[in-house]
Chain A
Amino acid sequence: MSQSALIKRILIVGGGTAGWMTAAAMGKLLAPLKIDVTLLESDQIGTVGVGEATLPHIRFFNRRLGIDEADFMAQTAATFKLGIEFRDWARKGDAYIHPFGDYGRDIKGVPFHHYWLRLRQRGRAWRIGEFSAPVMISEFGRFAMPVEDERSVMSSFSYAYQFDAGLYAKYLRRFAEACGVRRIEGKITTVIQRGEDGFIEAVKTEDGRRVEADLFVDCSGFRGLLIEQTLKAGFEDWSAVLPCDRAVAVPCENAAPSLPYTRATARGAGWQWRIPLQHRVGNGYVYCSEHVSDDEAAQTLMASLEGRPRAEPNFLRFRAGKRRRQWVKNCVSIGLSSGFLEPLESTSIYLIQASVTKLLELFPDRDFRACDIDEFNRAMDLEYERIRDFLILHYHATERDDTPFWDYVRTMKIPDSLAYKMTLFRKRGVVVKYKDGLFLHPSWIAVYLGQRVMPDMYDPRAEFIAEDELEKTLSAMRNLIRKTAESLPDHSDFIRRYCPAPGTV
């Protein structure tokens, strides 16, 4: 940097998933710059510890850090994840999988789903999921690694992991410490700001220690100890469009071999997750406290467990929204301290990764220039807003009117940035494209169609193929995908061979 005012010390406040992911990335990637990275956490306070389902991006994170996949999966009792199954969302009895992969193939430059729509209008009742390799592989409970050869249907998807959050934190901690990150145990009681500009100078712990740094990363969870309590970044509240504000979580025993996908089942006042791991299943009910009490929610959850509970139900409270500024002065918030979007599409860990990556890209020096901070905040705002809209779609595009909760989300006013996207899809089957932002074309198609947002028409260019030729092409695609999926090994067998967790075999 001008290259003198380089940051020398970083303090990461918090040792949850956000803290340790940040520590691992910084420990590894900042090593050549000889920056001192310290993490401070309080055993007294503890972590949220529920984030267990991820998105495929985490593989790039791991690769960048040089993490060995099989070892990582074994140590976190992880399973593979090919998508999320949504049950009972548009109507009770509905089910669809939002896969990490493409539907069919474009034909003559026109996206596949238009051809599918055309045949559907002619009465062909094929499900769109039958043209997705990861959907079919999920339905059969199989798994194999995708390949690179673009001619193969096995190149059409990606995958993520479902892991034990507690084991993941431990794994990252070992990794980060091996990279030279120092860990301090202690509870912060005071934050000391510099008189002249309000920058954070140091934090003080209960037992009287003072820890200084140039850059503070606030990973303190919902409380936002530095970013909010000290620096007053402000919170943009999105609960009007994402009204769920509580969750109750409980792990239970595995009743069946683990499946390569997460499940999200709509309930009367929210939805319930099911995340299969090697040694147990994670469950939780995310709900809106205005419409259901904690006791009722816990009852609903406990009554639907497939195996014996392995812990007491754990209650959590939150509010959808984000910090108005995620980076203020010399403090960057990462993880729950930066905002919260419910785990419907497993986006939180992705957001942690995006923040860390962006921070390294815009890595500041000790002058903390406004332009670095602005650009970080602009980029993260865009990430948050685009995910928010995608989540709202799941709730809003529904026909359910069986509870006041569903009546509310079905009829609420949604952001214009989502409304025009839905209109274009509904009228014309076109998915709006954007450059930065998490969910791409196939994700929008999966959720639109899964939520019964059925286009009035398909792209007129999809007419350029004769109908019988189109039937043949699609039918061949469908058969190939089904045959390929069926031929793969069982997901749980694959795991047993590839990455068995200690004690599971």
Chain B
Amino acid sequence: MPNQSHGETRNIVIIGDGFDAWLSAAYLTRKLRAGYDIVVCAPPREEMQDHCAVFAGPATSSLHAELAVDERDLLRYCRGTFSLGAHFLDWTKPGKDYVVAFGAYGAPIETIAFHQCWRKRQRIVKGGDRFDSYSLSATAARAGKFAHPSRDPADIRSTYRYGYHVDVELYTDYMRRYAMHYGAKKAGARYANALLKERREGIDAVRLADGEIIPAFLALDCASAAAPLIEGALGATWTSFPSPGAVDSVITFAASSVASPSMTRIVAAKTCWRMDIPFQDGARCMIGYDSRAVSLDALAREHGPLENLEAKRIVRGRRAPAIGNVAALGESACRLDPLFCPAPATLIAGLKTLVELLPASQSGAETDEYNRIMSDVFERCNDFVTLQYWLAEQLGQHAWAAGAEKALSPHLRRKIEQFRSRGQIVQFDEEIYDQEMWIASLLGAGVNPERYDPFADGLSETMLDARLAALREKIAETVRAMPDQMIYLRQARATAPERSGS
């Protein structure tokens, strides 16, 4: 029988030393217990971390739950906060803002989707309330509050999910310690090269700089852009995603804290977008801009002193997710635009898919399926980010978003078309962002569907008014009773000690 015999261990060799490598190591060490050794080898050259902060969604919190990571300990270590979503400001109109939150926006009324009912009422009252005032997580995020969701489905506090805001270096460090605690090993030297299987269908082993050879059942290229395995050894070619606008560079720097620790703030300015990811003491800021249209000096004048900053070029595209027994995870497989921070969710999707499809049969069947799924994941994630640019272009007329329309994939085009037409979201096979997040983005931005569900006309207007008012009130009341996030963190002993000297 082809299943392995007892007692034999197999190596999973991870090349990389950053976020992708250590989160992968942490996950695989826990999910593949007996029978697998996880060995992490630093890449040939030290890599530059691309993001300095992560705004991670519910995929990350459920991963933590699966790994039984102690969140309080994690946030203390990373000086991080819980995230309920992202706050878009001036994105589509000066002064207009909306929250794309993790969780439900309202609840169906007599089986009619909530947003359809809301649209009907909008027609009648001509504007008025914000769509996100029907989302508990959005409302709590605006108020800077946080509490863990309830498990009782009857409780309105069960209607949301959450993610985190964390510093990448600290988080990576935390995951490294976690992984090593549970048995991941660090190789004694850097990766040097790979011993290929015949016809380059994967690799048999990796050779380290000191000459040691480690046989590999499975090897993961988690070495970011350099991709020494999937590209260096196996020759996977790079395919670019069309650029969703003119933004070609980012800078990141420390900033003072933003108004709410419970959401990432994403602002559209004249010459750039700016994303502030809040920590317990301050925030990490990233600015995306068009380097051909605006100089760093000009940005500095607008956003405060930006000394010694190095601009990084944004690269968007992807490689084959896997070849034989080598899979690329994270940035080595797919680089998405950093807006909205889609990287953690794609990495996690890759990890979950990978453990279900460990290439144990040696037939290539798992690799084919992995590639099929992950290609879709990358495309759908790219769609979500592209949508944000498209909104900035179409409604905000921001110069840095010019050209987004041309970058729409056929899938995204259909999504937008269907939404514009009647407010429905078409979901395809491998979606990472749920319907609510698509709806929150589109409705929040002010893309008003031409029609609403005709069945909403069967609902009486007074009933609808009363239901909506009651829901708004219920949410406001629930949020009033929630603690400020900083107090919540302190009570949970999840706050970091004061930084010395700050």
Contacts and interface: CB of A to CB of B under 8 A. Distances in A.
B3 A434 contact: no
Interface in A359-417: 360-363, 365, 369, 371-372, 375
B454 A371 contact: no
A361 B372 CA distance: 30
Interface stretch (B199-207, B314-322, B323-331, B351-359): B351-359
B426 interface: yes
A383 B438 CA distance: 24
Given A432-B369, A460-B35, A463-B4, A33 B426 contact: no
A420 B4 contact: no
Contact of A457 (B3, B35, B368): B3
B418 A375 contact: yes
A121 B5 CA distance: 12
A424 B458 contact: no
Interface in B222-253: none
Contacts of B454: 1, 3, 6, 33, 363, 365
Interface in A95-125: 109, 118, 121
A456 B2 contact: yes
A430 B424 CA distance: 32
Given A32-B458, A427-B363, A430-B356, A372 B421 contact: yes
B360 interface: yes
Contacts of B360: 428, 457, 459-460
B32 interface: yes
Nearest to B1: A121
Given A33-B454, A457-B2, A420 B422 contact: no
B427 interface: yes
Contacts of B356: 430, 459
Nearest to B364: A427
Contacts, number: 102
A428 B361 CA distance: 6
A434 B429 contact: yes
A389 to B, nearest CB: 15
Given A3-B452, A3-B454, A424-B366, A430 B357 contact: yes
A375 B413 CA distance: 12
B366 A430 contact: yes
Interface string B347-384: 00000000111101101011011001000000000000
Contacts of B426: 375
B451 interface: yes
B455 interface: yes
Nearest to B66: A109
Given A3-B452, A33-B455, A428 B363 contact: yes
Contact of B451 (A3, A435, A457): A3
Interface string B401-424: 000000000000010011001101
A63 to B, nearest CB: 11
A423 interface: yes
A267 to B, nearest CB: 33
Interface in A27-82: 29, 31-33, 64
A90 to B, nearest CB: 21
Given A361-B424, A362-B422, A435-B428, A3 B457 contact: yes
A29 B34 contact: no
A121 B3 contact: yes
A428 B366 contact: yes
Given A435-B428, A456-B2, A457-B1, A430 B369 contact: yes
A108 B422 CA distance: 42
B242 to A, nearest CB: 23
A483 to B, nearest CB: 31
Interface in B440-462: 450-452, 454-455, 457-458
A461 interface: yes
Given A371-B418, A372-B421, A464-B34, A458 B3 contact: yes
A424 B353 CA distance: 14
A2 B455 CA distance: 13
Nearest to B424: A361
B64 interface: no
Interface residues of B, number: 42
Nearest to B34: A464
A33 B457 contact: yes
A420 B421 CA distance: 36
Nearest to B459: A32
Chain B binding surface, main DSSP class: loop
Contact of A29 (B417, B422, B455): B455
Contacts of A430: 356-357, 366, 369
Interface string A259-282: 000000000000000000000000
Contacts of B467: none
B33 interface: yes
A29 B392 CA distance: 39
A32 B358 contact: no
B4 A365 contact: no
Contacts of A369: 421
A374 to B, nearest CB: 8
B418 A460 contact: no
A434 B455 CA distance: 29
A420 B364 CA distance: 11
Contacts of A432: 369
A29 B454 CA distance: 11
B427 A435 contact: yes
Interface string B17-38: 0000000000000011111000
A485 B194 CA distance: 56
A233 to B, nearest CB: 21
Contacts of A109: 31
Nearest to A432: B369
Given A32-B457, A121-B3, A460 B365 contact: no
Contacts of A464: 33-35
B365 A427 contact: yes
Given A1-B451, A457-B2, A372 B422 contact: yes
Given A371-B418, A372-B421, A434-B429, A420 B369 contact: yes
A64 B455 CA distance: 14
A375 B123 CA distance: 25
A211 B366 CA distance: 57
Nearest to A121: B1
B366 A463 contact: no
Contacts of B427: 435
A459 B35 CA distance: 13
Contacts of B368: 420, 424
Contacts of B422: 362, 372
B361 A33 contact: no
Interface string B26-55: 000001111100000000000000000000
A6 to B, nearest CB: 7
Contacts of A3: 123, 451-452, 454, 457
Interface string A1-35: 11100100000000000000000000001011100
Nearest to B35: A463
A419 to B, nearest CB: 11
A424 B414 CA distance: 31
Contacts of B31: 109, 461
A375 B411 CA distance: 12
Given A6-B454, A33-B458, A430-B357, A118 B365 contact: no
Interface string A443-470: 0000000000000111111011000000
A64 B112 CA distance: 12
B182 to A, nearest CB: 14
Given A31-B458, A420-B365, 4 more contacts: A2-B450, A428-B363, A457-B2, A457-B3
24 contacts: A3-B454, A32-B455, A33-B458, A365-B451, A365-B454, A371-B418, A371-B421, A372-B421, A420-B369, A423-B363, A424-B366, A424-B368, A424-B369, A428-B361, A432-B369, A435-B428, A435-B429, A436-B429, A457-B3, A458-B3, A460-B4, A460-B358, A461-B31, A464-B35
Closest 8 CB pairs of A and B: A32-B458, A427-B365, A1-B451, A427-B361, A427-B363, A457-B2, A428-B361, A424-B365
